[in-house]
Amino acid sequence: MDSIDRLTDEERAAVALQADQAELGHEAYALGLELLELGRRDQALRWLRTAARYHVTGAQRALRPRGTSAVVYDEAGAPANPQAGEREGVVCEPRRPAVTAASPAGVRRPEHPPLTPAAQRIVLGARLRELRQICQLTSQHSARTIRCSASKISRVECGTVLPNLEEVEQLLTLYGVDKPEERRFVLDAWHGAKEKSWWHEYCDIMPSWVQTFFDLERSADLIKTYEVQFVPGLLQTPEYARAVIRMGNPTATEQDIDRRVQLRMKRQQLLHTADAPRLWAVVDESALRRPVGGSDVMREQLEHLLRMSNLPNIALQILPLQEAVTADIGAPVTVLRFAEPVLSDVVYLEQLSGAVYLSRWDDGNRYQSLLDQLATAAEKPHRTADILCRILDLAGTAPGSTVPDADTGAYTRFMERLTAKAPHPNRTEEILDSLIANSS
């Protein structure tokens, strides 16, 4: 309540509007599912599209088209089918490491990564919705059974709200689930959703909007990311991470920064597990030439990227300064893809003081297309090591330079392209006034 009380009237109105929109979205989703059950597909799709516009997770499952194929790179990072890549200009994706007798502890890789509490919550909701549909019951009927609103049933089935154990058991009884193994499957998902997440000991220093992302990231089969300013968090060294965290938290104590660095290092452990996800990252070259933390820290970071790019489950591409990119992405973006069928792709857009989660199929397709454009413009993964070595060599001759002398011209042209698209500084006040007027 203290945080709500500190909000301005405008911010409080915005929060109320978002809550109303979320409620409308879930109501539209519930109505769309009921119309599907009645066979009225055209009307159902209209309501599902409305729910998708309000970012209701799950609505896109009835709307999104199937995925397309991608170019696969071999263990050395060279295209296994280069003709297809040049012809189609599609995204490369890293392979999972092959399971061999030399695998750690001789354990075979499971088919899917383990599901974290946030993912289990979605699986639980999907199964409850499936059982309700099999019984041909409406969400209102289920709501009356556990004495709640139909919108709560919708949120439970979307995985955004976790019901209590008594409510789950009442719904299973309503849906006629008598077999012990079937009840156990649903109840196991509930207990999994109730477990503490791997980051729970750091929740006091974690913004609430990043907690769900860290949870879903652990359940992802493929992580696609683009970074324009810094090295991706999953690939940062401790000292580089410390410098980045200190920049973003200038008033934090050293103890607080130490814990944040520990959290970031613990997060990176998922890349080295037996069921590690595939990571595909495109990094703007300017991020690699920006001496975050000083020349020594940056050299260590670049050497770390060299080692990480050799892992079979990681594909790292560098977007050259000289490349004119048409993709309209000016901020970091991450797309999580899951092997579990009931988990839809999630687009994560981190901002200065918050984050946006997109799960609509049209938003997902748009960002997938933008990432494909960046991958096509970037150097291919088998050239990453050469580029990093070249940057390291140049940094060694000019450790104090923000941009090595040999590439000053390229960097200047890069900055000129950015400033050419921006309005003249004299118009800044006019633009801000216009934005304020439009938002009021």
Q: What is the pLDDT of residues 17-26, one digit of tens each?
A: 455 555 566 6
Which residue, chain included where needed, has tokens 């974290």?
Answer: 116
pLDDT tens digits, 386-431:
999 999 987 653 333 343 444 445 545 555 555 665 666 667 767 6
Q: CB burial class (10 A; 0-12, 13-18, 19+) of residue 250?
A: exposed
pLDDT at 406: 40
Query: Do 327 and 41 meet the contact criterion of CB atoms below 8 Å apart?
Result: no
Q: 155 or 81, which is more confident?
A: 155
**What is the Cα 422 distance to its own chain's centre?**
29
Q: Which residues contact 360 (CB under 8 A, 6 or more apart)?
A: 52, 53, 55, 59, 60
Sheet of 314-319, strands arranged across = 314-319, 278-284, 222-227, 333-337, 346-351, 354-358
Could you tell me the pLDDT band of residue 9, with boundaries at 50, 70 and 90? low
Residue pLDDT, tens place only, 84-115: 343 333 344 555 444 333 333 223 344 567 88
To the question of pTM greater than 0.85 for the whole model, the response is no
Q: How many helices (H) and strands (E) does the chain have?
A: 18, 8
Of 36-45, 100-109, 185-194, 236-245, the range with the lowest mean pLDDT is 100-109
197 pLDDT above the threshold of 60: yes
